[in-house]
Amino acid sequence: MNLLLIRLLIFAVLFFAGLKLYRMYLEWQQSRSSEQPESQESAPMVRCQWCNVHCPEEDALREQGEWFCSAEHRDRYIEERKR
Ligand SMILES: [Zn+2]
């Protein structure tokens, strides 16, 4: 009798945990789908690590986790870092 009760409890806990995870997943999916159109309307801007000028992400270059407006600035930044 006790074993059955424990099994029922475990089942209930698993059920509610699964339900919560499923709801979190749905919320995550909703927030994701609502964010996407916004980013398409206004192109995300990134700051050049060398000259601090903001430029669209699609025109920028990425190197070692940093953004740069041009290949020249990227190379200069890397040169400065080496020293
Ligand atoms: Zn720059």
Residue 62: what pLDDT? 95
- Collapsing DSSP states into helix, strand and coil, what is residue 27? helix
Distance 40 CA to ligand 1 centre (A): 24
Task: Examine the domain organization and report whether 53 and 35 are in the same domain.
Answer: no
Residue 48: what pLDDT? 96
Domain carrying residue 63: 43-83
Task: Examine the domain organization and report whether 11 and 36 are in the same domain.
Answer: yes
Task: Examine the domain organization and report whether 32 and 47 are in the same domain.
Answer: no
Task: Examine the domain organization and report whether 76 and 52 are in the same domain.
Answer: yes
Distance 76 CA to ligand 1 centre (A): 10
Task: Examine the domain organization and report whether 1 and 36 are in the same domain.
Answer: yes
- Collapsing DSSP states into helix, strand and coil, what is residue 66? strand
pLDDT tens figures, 16-39: 999 999 999 999 998 888 766 555
Task: Examine the domain organization and report whether 34 and 51 are in the same domain.
Answer: no
Residue 5 clears pLDDT 90, i.e. is over it: yes
pLDDT tens figures, 64-81: 899 999 999 999 999 998
Number of domains in the chain: 2
Q: CA torsion 58→64→67→73, rounded to 10°?
A: -110
Distance 6 CA to ligand 1 centre (A): 64
